[in-house]
C-alpha cells in the first residue's frame, strides 16, 4: 500500500496555480496519473471547522471592537482639529489678528482671498470634468463650437476668452516662467555642488587642525606668556530673558584672568533691565572677573554703533583679539582654547567662526524647520566656502576677530543692518582669510514665534541687498583676483541673496497660481514636484533626523518666500523698512544639562571665592543697593496670544490648490497623496499661525 501523503498544510499555505502536475517514473509498476486538482480526501480543512458558534461570535466582536476603536480615534482627532479651527479662526478665542494692530496689507489679503475662492471654484469644476471624462483643460485639440452650434451668450463669451487667453495672456506668462525655471536650475546646480563639496570634506576628513599645543611654554619663569590678550564683547538691548545666562557663561571661560576683559555693551532703554544687568556685572566683578558694564544713552547705529563705540575705548588698544557673543549665546569654558590657537603662526587669518547649536530646536514645528535651514547654512555653505575659498559671511556672533583685521578693514560701520556681513566682505577685499570650525559649537536660541522669525528674516534678507549696492564699486576696483570678484558678485550676492527669493516668489507664488486660470502656461511636473522635492532632500542632508518634516518644510519655504521677496525688494531699492532693526524676541531657554553644569560651577565658584574684605565700603553699598533694586523690580507677566497671519495662511492654501490642480492636469490624480498633503498642510498652518499658548 502506498504511503499516505498529508498535503493539508501545504494546500493551506498556497493555493493551486500554474499548469497541472504530471508525475513520470522509469519502469513504473503502476500507470501514470495526472493530477488536475486535489481529491476530496486531500482538500484542506477549513479554518472555521472545529470552532463553535460562540467562538466565532467572540472573534467577530473583537474585530468589530477594533474597528469601532479606530473610527472613534479618527473622529476624536477630527473633532479636536475642527474645535481648534473654530476657536482660532471663527470665534478668535485666544488670538489677536495681525490687522488689529496694523492696517497694512488689507488690500493684499483681499486680493489673495479672492484668488483663493476663485481657484477653489475652478478646482471643483475641473475635478467634476475629470471624473466625467470631459477634460476641457487637458485636450490640446479642444473643439471650438461653430457659430451655428453656439447656443447662448455664455458659450460665445467663453470662446472669446479662450482666444484672448491663448493669444495675449499665455505668451508673457510662458516667457516669465521659462526665465524663472532657468534661474531655478542654476540655483539648484549651485546647491548640488555645495553638497558634493561637503561630502568630499567628510570623506577626506578635511578640517582645520592645531599642530601643537600653542599654550605650552618651556620657559618656567614666563608662565602665561603664550596666552594672548583677548577682549570679549556681549552686545545686548533689552535682553531681560537671556542676559544672566549669557554673562554667566562668558565669565566662566577658561582663560587667564589677567589676559581677559569682558565688555557688557548694553543699549537697553528700560531702567529696570539696566539695573538687573549692572547688578549681574557687579556680582561677577566682586568674584575677581575682569568685567566692565557700558551703557549708551543714545542707540545710534544699533549693534554696529554699539560695537564701534566699545572699540574706541583706550584700554582696548592693548588687546590682540576680540570675541563677540550675542545675548542669547552660551559659549563653553574651552571656547577660546579651541579658537584662538588657529591664529598662531597664521598671520593672514582674520576671523575664526564657530558653529551655532540650538537649545530649543525641538520646541515646536517652527524651530524644527529653522534648524533644517541653519544646519545646511553652517555645515554645507560655510564649511565648503571656508575650506575652498577661505571666505564666508560672518554670523555676527560666536566668532573671534583679529583686531588688526578689523582696523585695517575700516572697523564697524553703521550703514546697513547686516554689519557682520559688511565687515566680512571688507576684510575679504583686504586679503584676510577666514576659518570655520564645524566641531566647535556655541549654544543659542531659535525664535519660537512666527512673528519674531518673520522680523528676523526680513532683516537678514534686506540687509544684503543694501550692502550689495554699497560694496559693488569697492568689489570691482579691489585688488583681489578676478575669480574671487566673480564669486562675490555672482554667487555670494546675486545668486544666493537676490535670485533665490526672486524666482521662489515669482515661480511658486505667482506663476503657479496663474496656471489655474491660464492652462496654456502649464508648468511641467518636474518643476512643480520632482526638483523641489530633490532640493528639499539636499537641504535636509545635514540634518537627517528632520526627514519626517520634509513636506511641511517644502510648504513652509514656499510661503515664506513672500516675506523674503518683500525684504529683498526693500533692501535693493532702499525702502524705509530696510532700515528697521528689531531685536529678535527670546525666551531664555537652556538645556537641562547646561543648567545643571552651570549650577555646579556656580556653587563651586561661590565656595572658593568670597567677597574680599579689601573692597571699599562704597562698592559694597552700591552692590547692596543694586540687589535691593533687583528685588523690587516686578515683572508683569505678559499673556501670550496666538496671532493669525491671514495673508500667509491664505496664500499657502492658494499654493496648495494650484499644486493640486497641476497634478490633475497631468492626469496623475493620486487621491491619498493629495489627502495626506492637505491634512499635513492644515496642521502646519495651525502650528505656524501664531505663538504657543502659555
Catalytic annotation, residues: 267, 420
Contacts of 176 (CB under 8 A, 6+ apart): 506, 511
The maximal CA–CA distance of the chain, rounded, in angstroms, is 122
Query: 181: Cβ–Cβ under 8 A, 6 or more apart, which residues?
Result: 507, 523, 527
Distances (CA, A) of 198 to 191, 250, 278, 414, 681: 11, 31, 44, 34, 31
- Report the alpha-carbon distance of residue 594 to residue 634 in Å, rounded: 27
* CA–CA separation, 7 and 182 (whole Å): 66
Task: Supply the DSSP string of 616-680, one letter for each residue.
Answer: -HHHHHHHHHHHHHHHH---PPPPP-EEE-HHHHHHHHHHHHHHHHHHHHTT---HHHHHHHHHH
Calculate ∠ Cα 152-158-163, nearest 5°: 135
What gap in Å lies between CA 272 and CA 476, rounded to an integer? 49
CB 648 within 8 A of CB 109: no
Instruction: Collapse the DSSP code of 508 into the 3-class scheme (helix H, G, I; strand E, B; otherwise coil) and give the result.
Output: helix
Give the count of beta carbons closer than 10 Å to the beta carbon of residue 157: 10
d(CA 310, CA 314): 9
Cβ atoms within 10 Å of 221's Cβ, excluding its own: 6
Q: Comparing C-alpha atoms, which of 585, 581, 590, 636 is closest to residue 239?
A: 585
Give the whole-angstrom CA distance, residue 431 versus residue 338: 24
Chain centroid to CA 298: 34
CA–CA distance, 331 with 309 (Å, rounded to integer) = 24
State the residue for C-alpha cell 481657484.
Answer: 119
Rounded distance between C-alpha atoms, residue 226 and residue 293, angstroms: 28
655 close to 326: Cβ distance less than 8 angstroms: no
Amino acid at each position: 500500500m502506498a504511503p499516505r501523503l498529508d498535503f493539508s498544510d501545504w494546500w493551506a499555505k498556497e493555493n493551486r496555480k500554474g499548469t497541472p502536475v504530471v508525475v513520470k517514473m522509469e519502469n513504473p509498476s503502476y500507470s501514470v496519473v495526472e493530477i488536475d486538482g486535489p481529491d476530496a480526501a486531500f482538500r484542506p480543512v477549513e479554518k472555521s471547522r472545529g470552532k463553535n458558534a460562540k467562538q466565532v461570535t467572540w472573534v467577530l466582536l473583537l474585530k468589530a471592537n477594533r474597528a469601532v476603536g479606530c473610527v472613534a480615534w479618527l473622529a476624536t482627532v477630527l473633532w479636536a482639529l475642527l474645535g481648534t479651527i473654530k476657536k482660532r479662526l471663527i470665534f478668535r478665542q485666544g488670538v489677536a489678528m495681525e490687522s488689529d494692530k496694523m492696517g497694512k496689507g488689507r488690500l493684499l489679503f483681499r486680493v489673495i482671498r479672492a484668488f483663493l475662492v476663485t481657484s477653489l471654484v475652478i478646482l471643483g469644476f475641473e475635478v467634476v470634468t475629470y471624473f466625467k471624462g470631459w477634460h476641457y483643460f487637458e485636450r490640446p485639440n479642444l473643439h471650438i463650437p461653430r457659430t451655428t452650434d453656439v447656443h447662448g451668450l455664455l458659450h460665445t463669451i467663453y470662446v472669446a476668452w479662450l482666444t484672448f487667453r491663448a493669444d495675449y495672456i499665455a505668451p508673457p506668462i510662458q516667457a516669465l516662467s521659462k526665465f524663472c525655471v532657468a534661474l531655478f536650475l542654476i540655483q539648484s546646480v549651485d546647491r548640488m555642488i555645495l553638497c558634493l563639496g561637503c561630502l568630499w570634506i567628510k570623506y577626506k576628513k578635511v578640517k582645520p587642525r592645531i599642530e601643537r599645543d600653542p599654550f605650552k611654554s618651556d620657559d618656567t619663569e614666563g608662565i602665561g606668556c603664550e596666552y594672548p590678550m583677548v577682549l570679549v564683547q556681549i552686545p545686548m538691548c533689552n535682553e531681560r530673558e537671556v542676559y544672566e545666562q549669557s554673562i554667566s557663561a562668558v565669565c566662566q571661560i577658561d582663560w587667564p584672568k589677567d589676559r581677559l576683559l569682558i565688555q557688557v555693551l548694553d543699549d537697553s532703554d528700560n531702567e529696570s533691565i539696566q539695573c538687573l544687568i549692572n547688578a549681574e556685572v557687579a556680582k561677577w566683578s566682586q568674584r575677581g572677573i575682569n568685567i566692565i558694564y557700558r551703557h549708551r544713552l543714545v542707540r545710534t547705529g544699533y549693534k554696529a554703533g554699539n560695537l564701534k563705540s566699545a572699540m574706541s575705548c583706550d584700554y582696548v588698544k592693548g588687546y590682540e583679539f576680540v570675541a563677540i557673543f550675542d545675548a542669547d549665546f552660551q559659549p563653553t569654558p574651552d571656547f577660546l582654547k579651541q579658537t584662538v590657537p588657529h591664529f598662531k603662526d597664521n598671520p593672514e587669518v582674520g576671523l575664526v567662526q564657530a558653529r551655532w547649536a540650538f537649545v530649543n530646536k525641538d520646541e515646536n514645528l517652527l524651530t524644527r524647520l529653522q534648524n533644517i535651514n541653519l544646519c545646511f547654512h553652517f555645515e554645507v555653505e560655510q564649511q565648503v566656502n571656508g575650506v575652498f575659498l577661505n571666505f564666508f559671511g560672518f554670523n555676527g556672533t560666536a566668532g573671534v576677530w583679529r583686531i588688526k583685521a578689523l582696523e585695517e578693514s575700516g572697523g564697524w560701520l553703521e550703514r546697513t543692518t547686516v554689519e557682520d556681513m559688511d565687515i566680512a566682505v571688507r576684510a575679504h577685499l583686504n586679503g584676510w582669510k577666514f576659518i570655520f570650525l564645524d566641531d566647535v559649537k556655541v549654544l543659542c536660541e531659535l525664535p519660537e514665534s512666527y512673528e519674531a522669525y518673520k522680523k528676523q528674516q526680513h532683516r537678514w534678507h534686506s540687509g544684503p541687498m543694501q550692502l550689495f549696492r554699497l560694496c559693488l564699486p569697492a568689489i570691482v576696483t579691489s585688488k583681489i583676483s578676478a575669480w574671487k570678484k566673480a564669486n562675490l558678485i555672482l554667487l555670494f550676492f546675486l545668486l544666493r541673496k537676490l535670485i533665490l527669493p526672486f524666482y521662489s516668489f515669482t515661480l511658486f507664488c505667482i506663476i503657479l497660481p496663474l496656471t489655474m486660470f491660464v492652462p496654456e502656461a502649464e508648468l511641467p511636473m518636474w518643476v512643480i514636484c520632482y526638483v523641489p522635492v530633490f532640493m528639499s532632500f539636499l537641504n535636509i542632508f545635514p540634518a537627517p533626523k528632520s526627514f519626517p518634516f520634509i513636506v511641511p518644510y517644502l510648504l513652509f519655504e514656499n510661503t515664506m518666500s513672500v516675506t523674503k521677496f518683500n525684504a529683498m525688494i526693500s533692501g535693493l531699492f532702499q525702502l524705509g523698512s530696510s532700515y528697521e532693526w528689531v531685536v529678535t524676541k527670546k525666551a531664555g531657554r537652556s538645556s537641562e544639562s547646561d543648567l545643571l553644569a552651570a549650577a555646579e560651577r556656580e556653587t563651586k565658584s561661590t565656595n572658593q571665592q568670597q567677597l574680599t574684605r579689601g573692597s571699599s565700603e562704597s562698592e559694597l553699598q552700591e552692590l547692596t543697593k543694586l540687589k535691593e533694586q533687583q528685588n523690587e523690580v516686578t515683572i508683569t507677566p505678559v499673556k501670550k496670544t496666538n496671532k493669525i497671519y491671514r495673508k500667509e495662511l491664505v496664500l499657502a492654501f492658494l499654493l496648495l490648490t494650484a499644486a493640486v490642480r497641476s497634478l490633475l492636469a497631468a492626469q496623475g490624480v493620486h487621491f491619498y497623496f493629495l489627502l495626506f498633503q492637505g491634512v499635513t498642510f492644515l496642521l502646519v498652518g495651525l502650528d505656524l499661525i501664531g505663538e504657543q499658548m502659555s
